[in-house]
Chains A and B, each alone.
Chain A
Amino acid sequence: MSASENMSIDPEEKYSEILQKLPGRHKQCRVLIDFFSTPGQIPASIFIHGNSATGKTLTVKTVLDGLKIEYVHLSCVEFDTPGLLAAKIASNLNGEYLQLSSSHNCSSLMELVENLQAASKIKNDPFVIVLDRAERLREMPSTVIPALLKLREISNMNVCVILISDLLWDRFYHGKMRFCKPLISLFFPQYTKTECLEIIRSRKPEGVDDAFYCSYTSILLRVLYRFCRDLNELLYMANQHFVLVKKLSNDQRTIFITLQPHLKAATQNVHLRQGIQQNQNVDQKAPNSSLISAVTAMELPYYAKFLLMAAFLASFNSPKHDRRLFAKHHGMQRKKAATSRKTVKRSSLIVGPKPFNFERLTAIFHSIADTPYLITTNLCAQLATLVNLHLITKVGFSGLSNPKFKCAVGLDFIKAVGRTVDFNVQRYIMEDF
């Protein structure tokens, strides 16, 4: 009763503290507060969705903490079987309600329900189960999601299940859940630019002048917000680049001039998390050189390069062209073939690599790489290495007798590889680009 009295005295003031902690999420916060502020009538289940870095988990946790409601927060990635999930919930529940030191072996949802029933007899305070990354529940038996959603009905306890996910509810739906839907679905939209700015400013490093940080962040966001709206990424960028301007005076122009080359590079590799030292190197190079530098950085042995190219040719050319491409005396090509080639042309590079067998690979390898030896064990080991590095992938479970492979690298990459050994791969592809 005391709680409701408090609320009637000054509801806004009490919750303003919570709201303050969550800039940009006031609307969602209010909704949640409405649900949980009257302990007797909390909803049985809530589904929260929205992109990553939109404050879903943070909001739920802050609200529940602020309202002093008992809850357990767990991630479905870690507790990925119903047993583990139940055990974790039960151990928290027992700690709070039954004052048992350890959960007495709760290993299934049924036992969890029994535990909840026992708890409800002792006291009927609200208890909230927050399940993060709820999309993982779909990988559990199909009964788990319905059971969790109807936990209140089954256990007769004042319990609420909050599912948090990146996906829409539609993605959770399957046949067995026809009459089973979370009561409330709450969407968390992306932060707007001003909200981002506000949040980044609230994470200001200590001992930095307010006005200076303000102008720094507004410059940063003006450039980067067009390329990236992810709050985490923007925060990371703000931290990374702050080192560069730390010692400057508060002058928009100088800050911008110092930051400009770095930000330009940063627009190229947002989300790559490459650290700032490398950014400086990148902007000195020509724009197209990144792939070539990747090839040279990888430094494959000579025959491995040919093996890779042979694999590429084998998976993008149809076997019927092999004779024409690789045999020495292939004879004239018939006209009919030339016209029918057009249909092949469009498909192969778009459709993707086709599987080929080991024999064909070695045949092509020998015709393009001038080796004095036949296939040696060293070469076979090299093929295994390439498969291990995911440059060539093994297809299916054909076992030892007749393994099949696919080439997993793209045309640009293979062209760069070919250039390093003076081999024009394009000449051998029955395609025009």
Chain B
Amino acid sequence: METSSMSKGVFVYRGKRSKGGRKSRSPNKSSPRKIRKTREEEGLGYSQETWYPAYKCVLMSLEDQVQNLYTDMFAQLLENVSVFLGRTSSTAINEIPTAVVLTGINLPDHAVIFEAVEKKLIDDISPHVVLLSSRTCSTARHLFGQILNKCQFGDSEMEIESAEDSDDIETPQLRKRATKCTFSEISLWYKNQGSDKPVIVVLTDFEAFTPSVVEDFIYLASEYKSEVPVALVFGVATTETTVHCALPHRIMSRLAMETFATKNSKDVLSHLINEVILSSKCLFRIGGTVFKMLTDIFLFYDFSIQSFLQKFKFCMLNHFAKRGVFAVYCKDDLTVDFMTSKDVAKSIVPKLKSFRLFVEQHRGQEKLDLLTNDDHIKETVIRLENELLDHFDYFLVGLKCLHEMTASLPQHPLGRQVSDLYFEAVSKKIWEMPEYLKCASLWKHLSGTELEEQLDRILLILEGASNELAGLNEWIADITIVNAKLKRIFTGQRSASCSPKKQNKAAELSGLSRTQLQQQLKELSKSSPVQNKFELVRNEALELVDKMFRSLLRPPREMPLHELMLFDDLELAKKELMGNSRLALNKALFNPHHYLKCKCCEQKYEEGISTSFPDVCISYHLHLEFMKHINLYDWLQSFNLIVERNAEEEEDSPVSTETQARFTQSIADMQFLGFIKPTSRKADHVLRLTWGNNCA
């Protein structure tokens, strides 16, 4: 294709796209979300790696599980909305039925919700469902145009846009795409298409819409109600008062609103963690500190499930890229078996700290084998990894049991969520922590019924998992015995009323004088309280449970080869996931090598300013040495000294014009970055704006 130049220097390439190629694209593929996803996966350049298929499999299973979770969670909400709209749009009322969906402020998640809403409404009520976002609806007529387009052509925007680029002739109907139209055109279209299903308009981000646009739309929709039945869905991120504030009474009186709330996003996260991330199905295990960081970002910053998942996936990809095949190793997988013993021996495994510690534990021939014999190394690695994987499943079950025991305690010494326990237990012996000891002391005050209930629930968890984990059976047997004992005591106690011994004591005490009573009470306090039957059994039960936790909750972080399975690189995660723009800026200016990775600037900080630094970095370094007011001439002199360091040093040589230009440029950059600003007091001075120690 020819290249044509519009104005000098700009070349317009007309896109070349074959006709067949475009048509073969199925409509559902063209949704932008999916395109983005495939690009993400392919663009990383990892697709040739050996671990990549396994990684992709893990990713897919994660995504499937998340999708299922979402479907479960939204089911009730979608049902309610659809029932409401179905009911109101079938009966003739004067108002426009309006469902206000409170979505929570986690903006990135809204797309998922509204995708589900759209699908449900199309299935249940009407094919004419229009999703609108405020970006495309700056005026009322743009909004009508959007509605008409989406109703007429469906959601195939991408295809039509690409059709406009290409040269071939389309059918005139497709060509005619109104970006603006009036409501009467919508009503005309509705009359022609023949069905009497309502048009459902979903305003996904109600807050961002211009109120007057929504006003006009509602006004006209209710004017045309007899011709075009319209139903509305507002996605409101804050509260429904926003709707009341945005719309005047005149418009409100045309709506029949009902509010629907989505689930609290904190609940959603804990659900997600319990069901997906901390389940044995998830094949990527995340370390305590990184996991805590992710949840903290969620709780403190954004409340967004989507971005949480993105960060989680990022950790996953990083881990797999670093650890390769071993990271995705699972019991049924044969990838490692295909590797030669030599590969295993040469690979990262022997370098791992935990493996070296493991080797150190052995003596003599065994140690030698572990260091030199490739076959032996491979065998050991596979054995250890199997052990670790097995243990991790037990660990998760143990965690759930512990959560059952601690969740209902006053003040929640170990936190309310399973994830709180996980943060600690994965890397430390949780039974040595003071919080655990506090819990243990609180358990001693449990009443019989409470204890019984908790044991029942623990049994339920253990039995649920025992199909796959045979090692749990002995614990089940032991706990059942204790539980039965407990129950027996209760049935016995209920038949015998208050113990006669105590009554006697009370009677004895009542007849005494004050001094005698004092004496008596002192004696009573000295004698150790006699443990009754229940207390004995309770202690037995608690000891058993404690023993179980000690065995199940052995921290995976302390086992050999844990690096292969647990991703616990907090530094990396922090660097990549908690962006700090100012820190980055300072770092770049102070030590350009950190980002440029050039050879010339490779040096330690102490060496000071190098000639090879970019100009703006030199200026930055120099300005750190000045006080509040910076004399530009002094600055220029120092700049000149550094830039011309290699040239022969002559006193009082004038600064070359080139240096002057470079200096001016760098000063302008500094001003743009907000480090200095000109003052009106002195013409040749600038004001320094930042203070304090620079962060390197």
Contacts and interface: CB of A to CB of B under 8 A. Distances in A.
Interface of A: 52-53, 75, 77-80, 84, 88, 133, 166, 230, 232-233, 235-236, 239, 271-275, 277-278, 294, 297-304, 373-382, 385, 388-391, 401
Query: For chain B, which range describes its interface: under 10, 10 to 19, 20 to 34, or 35 or more residues?
Result: 35 or more
Nearest to A278: B259
Contacts of A233: 253
B583 to A, nearest CB: 6
A373 B297 CA distance: 12
Contacts of A275: 256-259
Residue of B140, B184, B249, B297 contacting most chain A CB atoms (<10 Å): B249
Given A78-B182, A274-B259, A375-B580, A389 B102 contact: no
B253 A230 contact: yes
14 contacts: A75-B219, A78-B223, A272-B244, A301-B300, A301-B302, A304-B301, A376-B581, A378-B579, A381-B302, A388-B207, A389-B237, A390-B207, A391-B238, A401-B672
B207 A298 contact: no
A213 B476 CA distance: 67
B207 A302 contact: no
A275 B93 CA distance: 14
A236 B239 contact: no
A87 to B, nearest CB: 10
Contacts of A298: 105, 238-239
Nearest to B258: A275
Contact of B182 (A84, A273, A377, A390): A84
Contacts of B258: 274-275, 277
Given A230-B253, A232-B253, A236-B256, A388 B301 contact: no
B580 A377 contact: yes
A77 B256 contact: no
B255 A376 contact: no
Given A300-B105, A301-B299, A390-B242, A272 B252 contact: yes
A297 B239 contact: yes
Interface string B209-250: 000000010011001000000000000011111101000011
Interface of B: 93-95, 98, 102, 104-105, 107, 140-141, 182-184, 205, 207-208, 216, 219-220, 223, 237-242, 244, 249-250, 252-259, 261, 264-266, 297-303, 578-583, 672
B94 A378 contact: no
Nearest to B297: A378
Nearest to A300: B105
B250 A299 contact: no
Given A79-B182, A236-B256, 10 more contacts: A75-B220, A77-B216, A80-B141, A275-B256, A277-B258, A299-B105, A299-B265, A300-B105, A301-B302, A303-B301
Contacts of B223: 75, 78
B302 A374 contact: no
A196 to B, nearest CB: 14
Residue of B207, B252, B301 contacting most chain A CB atoms (<10 Å): B301
Contacts of A75: 219-220, 223
A275 B88 CA distance: 12
Given A78-B183, A236-B95, A299-B264, A378 B220 contact: no
Given A271-B249, A273-B257, A373-B580, A78 B105 contact: no
Contacts of B580: 373-377
A297 B263 CA distance: 11
Contact of B105 (A84, A88, A389): A389
B228 to A, nearest CB: 13
B300 to A, nearest CB: 5
Contacts of A272: 244, 252
A166 B299 CA distance: 49
Contact of A382 (B205, B257, B301): B301
A294 B255 contact: no
A299 B244 contact: no
B105 A77 contact: no
Contacts of A299: 104-105, 264-266, 303
B107 A385 contact: yes
A388 B220 contact: no
Contacts of B579: 376-378
Contacts of B264: 299
Residue of A78, A79, A236, A388 contacting most chain B CB atoms (<10 Å): A78
| Closest CB pairs A-B (n = 3) | A377-B579, A378-B301, A232-B253
Contacts of A230: 249, 253
Contacts of A375: 580-582
B257 A373 contact: no
Contact of B303 (A278, A301, A401): A301
A53 B208 contact: no
Nearest to B256: A273
